[in-house]
Amino acid sequence: MNLLDLVIFLPAVAFLLLLLIPAASSRQAALALSIVIFLASLGLIGPVTANPAAYSFENNIPWIETPNIRYHTGIDGLSLWLIILSTLLTPLCVLISWNYISHRVKEFYAFLLLLEFGVVGVFAALDLFLFYVFWEVTLVPMYFLIGIWGHDRRIYATVKFFLYTMAGSVLMLAAILYLYTQGGTFDYTVLTKLLQEGRINLSHNAEIYLFLAFFIAFAIKVPLWPLHTWLPDAHVEAPTAGSVMLASVMLKMGCYGIVRFCLPMFPGAARELAPWIAGFALVGISVGALVAMVQPNMKKLVAYSSVSHLGFVVLGTFAFNQQGLDGAVYQMLNHGVSTGALFMLVGFLYERQHSLEIKAYGGVATVAPKLAVIFMITTLASIGLPLLNNFVGEFLVLQGAAIANFRWAVFAALGVIFSACYMLWMYQRTFLGKTPHDVEHHVTDINTRELVAVAPLVILMVWMGTAAGGFLNPISAANAKILEQSKARVEMRAANAR
Amino acid sequence: MPPPPPVPLVAYLTLSAILFVLGVAGFLIRKNLITMFMSIELMLNAVNLSFVSFSYHLKQTDGHLFTFFVMVVAAAEAAVGLAIILTVFKNRATLMVDEVDSLKL
Amino acid sequence: MDPILFAIFAGIAVVCGIVMVTQRHPIASALSLIGVMGSLAVLYLLLGAEFIAAAQVIVYAGAIMVLFLFVIMLLNAGAEPKPLRSSYLAGFLGVPMVLALMGLLGYLVKRSFPLDVTVRFGDFTGGSAKAVGDALFRKYLLPFEVTSVLVLIAILGAVVLARKEMD
Amino acid sequence: MHSLHSSQSLWLIPVLPLLGFLINGLLGKRLGKGAVSLVAVGTVAASFAWVLKCISALMPLEHSHIETYGTWIASGALNIPVELAIDRLTAVMLLVVTGIGSLIHIYATGYMSHEEGYERFFAYLNLFMFFMLTLVLANNYLLLFVGWEGVGLCSYLLIGFYYLKLSATNAGNKAFIVNRIGDFGFSLAMFLIFVHFGSLSFPAVFEKAKALSPESGFGWLTAICLLLLVGATGKSAQVPLYVWLPDAMEGPTPVSALIHAATMVTAGVYMVARSAALFVNAPIAMEVVAYVGLITAVLAATIGITQFDIKKVFAYSTVSQLGYMFLALGCGAFSAGIFHVVTHAFFKALLFLGAGSVIHALEGEQDIRHMGGLRSKIPVTFLTLACAWVAIAGVPPFSGFHSKDEILLAAHHHHPWMYWVGVITAGMTAFYVSRCMFMTFFGEYRGHHHPHESPWVMTGPLAVLAVLSLAGGYTHIPQFLEPVFPLKGGEHDSTLVAISVAAGLAGIALAWFLYVLSPETPKSIASALGGLYRAVYNKYYVDEVYYGTIVHPLVDGSKSILWKGLDAGIVDGAVNGAGTLARMIGGITRRFQTGNIRSYAAWVVLGSLLVLAAMTAMGGSSL
């Protein structure tokens, strides 16, 4: 039992605790518990950053004897910040739901913590079966978060979300089982080693199929164009906290999976298919941005902007160089921070005006100046202004893409232009201009609770944009190892082919 | 008069098959719930006969035990099944199986 | 003696079976089913199954069929009317399917057992009440207890359903 | 390359205004106007003082002085340090930015005194100073890009300062997005630089660039330079990306002076000059730079002739003058380009501030048709503006004459016909500025406000800038920049000089004739020209063309084709289609579920028949 196990299982314990206590005090309890979890997770930073390329807090005990499933967990520089991000966002989501959720309060917070349990587990699992279990665990609370506390078309959205993700994860399960039949273990580290040393000898086609099975599961979650259509629906219908967790954390599970599993295990297939995948990513970047530009609904706009931003993540990943991969991972965090904040802010507006249509707003800056400033900073972060977080990630991704294939960078950089268009246009239509009467009547400035919820993210935007090194160096070290692994494998195969 | 030839085992099994098929036919042809239920009993009896015949052939008692259990289950089934038929009749005022078809989408 | 007895009671069983299936009125069906069961009891005896034969008469022909008759009386079920909506499959394919089933079963039975495997009364004595009871309370004790639970549940189920009927 | 000098704490130069931004931005509402002005002006003035101190300590500054403060981004071979450097080019830019910046800050305390959001204005202005100084001091392309994007942001914020006005926020968005298109080129150039040079640091890149031989055709170096030029055309309002600058006049006038005349828009010139080591080896790119500059200069000057909004006239003038600077750069006269940046900063800032003073006097009136005869009513403004007037018209010996002269000589050296186009443009420049001056200050007053002279905080900076506009030509910038850009040995041809001066004077004279002596003539000329005049007056319909060919197709196409068609139609349609297909199959198989027990039984019998048949066929079941 080490600190990581504590961080993984505390949310599960909190989930059970919340079910036991009376509903009236569930808000306070959820907040306290999630803050405790967050504080505990901060303890992970020290040991991991000291040795970011190796797994820290490793725990490897048998879980099920036959088949050989192990409880194998551990984190390195790649997963560290994603876990911290998840544990940070949970208390913030508790805060923003304080008044927003008025019925079945207890269950809401319970599901939020169950979601945290699954997500942290996903980022910590080193056994493929364990990973799959956590991966599926996250589905359940999100299904209910959207389905119970969502807007009008919530059932359609949540079923779509669920089926989409299930379709992908079934493929992944098949691939995991195939790997088990080949290697006799679900352990990711062992499997990677076996694959690298050629002791599991996959045929060319087998590697492609396995890669695709994993990749499609992850790509749905990312979501990579054209597998993204569940996202706008899910976001629009989800309650604010659901949107935040979905965008900031759950989408990262897909990106993380690609980097963690697809690249080291099937480097040959990854390289072979990289042009195609990069093509889809590029289409996603541009189409996502252009479609976002014409959305009348704020949440849909942000959702499509996510499609665009996550295209960058995929593009950087498949550039196969240090800059691209570092940028991709950094961009995962950035997107989590800035889009999470955007969804929060849109949620704040919704709580006041009860509409997500951009048309329903205008001149909010006059009546809610603080909200306007925070929204501006978040907007700027989202469109990649320097000294704010997204810039570093986008720059690295584009630089990596330019090294891999300059044309990729050209097309991807177009997306940067479009991102400015849709975000600024939305900001103008929502916050600037004269204030209509009903907006003046309903919209008030941000209150202290909301400020406390969004402030950490704003601070992170500036922090991650200026002092990037502290965040980036552990990621870089872990990525260097992943690239090393996948490169070694490709070279070995090439040698075998000769 | 020479003793008649002994009865072959096949005769018992064929009888069992005939009775079973009669049960099936009854189940398919009859429209009264109670008669259909009786057809099921007939099928059970046919199978019981097979069990007893095999038991004789193999010189083992186990077949009898099986038959015994079938009887017990049949008794339980009759109790519950007839109670259900009573309820159906109470609710629908008919025993005609074709009119009891609310179990569809 | 055996072949004659077999011929008589097998004949009764088949005839009663046919009557049961063809009769429109449930009472007639029930009575002919009792006939089938009774003749089967005799056949059980011929196969050396004394206990089962007795149980057949007591449990089946006695208890269960009385229950049936009772329900028929209670519901005052009359003969079924002639024209009825029905399953197309059962209507058109019913008879061919039954015949095919008969043919297949007969063929299988014939293929499995040669004609010289015969049944002689008294060759098998494992069907006495002692032998059956011995097996029941030793080898099959657990299943026996389980069936007792099953019967209990069935009683409860019947009571619940019947009580629902009352209100 | 590291200088022998000890650390000069260069970081203080940009950080001081940043402090001002933080103080005014976070606490401004509670501070009160006096404290806000003090913080805003004080930090910029302190920054100016620190620049002076650093430069005097570092003189003669033959080599660049570099200070490193740590690493910003490190990823594999890519290492971006936080590194500031100062050489003579930077020194010139620093002095212009902080010096004119200070003056404009002082001016703004008067100009903005009655405005809502006073502290917001100064916070933005200080933030702008921070980014502009970062841009100038940066020692690698990425840090320069930080400043580059940052000034764009401040420009956006300040153009949209009057955020209740739709036109202002539209102009802000336009500026930002057009600049983004430029930044697209710049960032791609940066990526190519890293790919080919393995570094983004100026010393490292330029060291390697010097070792290259000039490209004969279109190669990667030309690509880099052209992409850099795309960036520069965005920021410095060159063809084809100049369209945002005239609209940017929606911002408060001090902003127009500081950002859209004196400093930010010259960032493109600075960047190209900074990258001179790359450009000299890419002759095709250089040629393109010269053409872009020349086309811009002519195009904007013609539009400037027809405009009636005083700020719009000066805005087009700025575009035109920036074109001049690019012409200089393209002709290889980098120091002349920078020289013009400096003198232009003096007289154009003065023109805008003076225009602001006029607008202030007339309570917001900007149309010169509603002015006139203001000479006597606001004499200080008139006198100072007149200094700028003679400077921009190229009247010797004032500042504009010197720098323009350098440029025209370089153009003549490059391609003689470029010189002649430049001369015509100079004439037009003199003409439209004179037209503006005459319509504003001469003749009868045609408005209905009561003009009043501006307070001393506004006229003071005007006076300082007036002195600089008059005497700025004697700063000897090209000579000062010699360590950075070696002087070309072009001989001084007094005939050419005389022709350009004559063109300027002719322009003034023509304006005098048309707008003072016979004010009716321009109208008849305009009506005689008809369509041509309307085309020029409507800025050649460039905005309309852009909207028609790019913006509207993109927006409408995104909506109807990409969103409704591709995304919601095809992609999501396929997804929902899969769902519908499953439902359809379910709908068919549902038919088996009739609810009729006998039908179920028949299925069971059929199934058992099949099983038995299979058993029989396989010959199994023998006991």
Please determine, for residue A347, whether its predicted confidence score (pLDDT) is greater than 60: yes
* Residue D277 near residue D146 (C-beta atoms within 8 A): no
* Residue D322 near residue D236 (C-beta atoms within 8 A): yes
Please tell me which residue of chain D has the smallest CA distance to B32: D598
Provide the CA D512 distance to its chain's centre, in angstroms.
Answer: 33
In the structure, what pLDDT confidence band is assigned to residue C144 with cuts at 50, 70 and 90? Answer: very high
D554-563 pLDDT tens trace:
888 888 888 8
Stated as kind and residue range, the H or E segment containing A211 is helix A204-221
Mean pLDDT, residues A246-265: 91
Bigger pLDDT: D237 vs D623: D237
| pLDDT given for residue B104 in this prediction | 61
Q: What share of chain D is helix, strand, coil (3-state, %, to 5)?
A: 75, 5, 20
What mean pLDDT value characterizes chain A? Answer: 90
Q: In chain C, where are the structural domains located? A: 1-78, 128-167
| pLDDT given for residue A13 in this prediction | 92
Of the candidates D593, D601, D605, the beta carbon closest to that of B105 is on D593
CA distance A168 to A178: 16
Please determine, for residue D3, whether its predicted confidence score (pLDDT) is greater than 70: no
| pLDDT given for residue D1 in this prediction | 43
Residue range C1-78 in CATH 1.20.120.1200: yes
Chain C positions touching D621 (Cβ under 8 A) are 108, 111-112
* Residue D329 near residue D321 (C-beta atoms within 8 A): no
Bigger pLDDT: D115 vs A309: A309
Least confident stretch, A15-24, A449-458, B87-96, D337-346: B87-96
* Residue B60 tokens, joined: 């083992």
Mean pLDDT, residues D80-87: 91
CA distance D340 to D401: 10
A199-232 pLDDT tens trace:
888 888 888 999 999 999 999 998 888 888 889 8
Least confident stretch, A187-201, A256-270, D484-498: D484-498
| pLDDT given for residue D360 in this prediction | 84
Cβ neighbours for D83, distance < 8 A, ≥ 6 positions apart: D66, D67, D68, D69, D138, D139, D140, D143, D201
Please determine, for residue D49, whether its predicted confidence score (pLDDT) is greater than 50: yes
At B63, which CATH number?
1.10.287.3510
Complex prediction ipTM: 0.77
Instruction: Verify whether the Cβ–Cβ distance B35 to C98 is below 8 Å.
Output: no
The answer to whether position B35 is within a domain reads: yes
Put simply, whether C76 touches D (Cβ < 8 Å) is no
Least confident stretch, D113-117, D136-140, D175-179: D113-117
User: Look-up: residue for tokens 């519908």?
Assistant: D580
Of all residues in chain D, what percent carry a pLDDT higher than 70?
98
Of the candidates C33, C49, C86, the beta carbon closest to that of B52 is on C49
CA distance A120 to A86: 7
Subunits close to B (at least 3 CB pairs below 8 A): C, D
B68: containing domain = 9-92
Mean pLDDT, residues D307-313: 88
Put simply, the chain A residues between 47 and 106 with a CB less than 8 A from any chain D CB are none
| pLDDT given for residue A498 in this prediction | 62
Instruction: Verify whether the Cβ–Cβ distance A322 to D153 is below 8 Å.
Output: no
Mean pLDDT, residues A90-102: 89
D207-239 pLDDT tens trace:
888 888 887 777 889 999 999 999 999 999 888
In the structure, what pLDDT confidence band is assigned to residue B2 with cuts at 50, 70 and 90? Answer: low
| pLDDT given for residue D2 in this prediction | 47
Bigger pLDDT: D456 vs A376: A376
| pLDDT given for residue D321 in this prediction | 92
Are there at least 3 beta-carbon pairs closer than 8 Å between A and B? no
D538-548 pLDDT tens trace:
888 888 888 88
Q: Tell me the C-alpha to C-alpha distance, in Å, between residue D367 and each of A428, D165, D450.
A: 28, 18, 15
| pLDDT given for residue D623 in this prediction | 43
The answer to whether position B62 is within a domain reads: yes
| pLDDT given for residue D60 in this prediction | 82
pTM over 0.80: yes
| pLDDT given for residue D405 in this prediction | 87
Instruction: Verify whether the Cβ–Cβ distance A395 to D150 is below 8 Å.
Output: no
| pLDDT given for residue A451 in this prediction | 92
Residue type, D429: T
Of the candidates D593, D595, D601, the beta carbon closest to that of B27 is on D601
* Residue D601 tokens, joined: 């039984």
DSSP for A79-129, written as a single string: HHHHHHHHHHHHHHHHHHTTTT--SSHHHHHHHHHHHHHHHHHHHHB-BHH
Of all residues in chain C, what percent carry a pLDDT higher than 70?
90
Instruction: Verify whether the Cβ–Cβ distance A396 to D78 is below 8 Å.
Output: yes
- State the total domains in chain B: 1
D403-422 pLDDT tens trace:
888 888 888 888 889 999 99
| pLDDT given for residue B103 in this prediction | 65
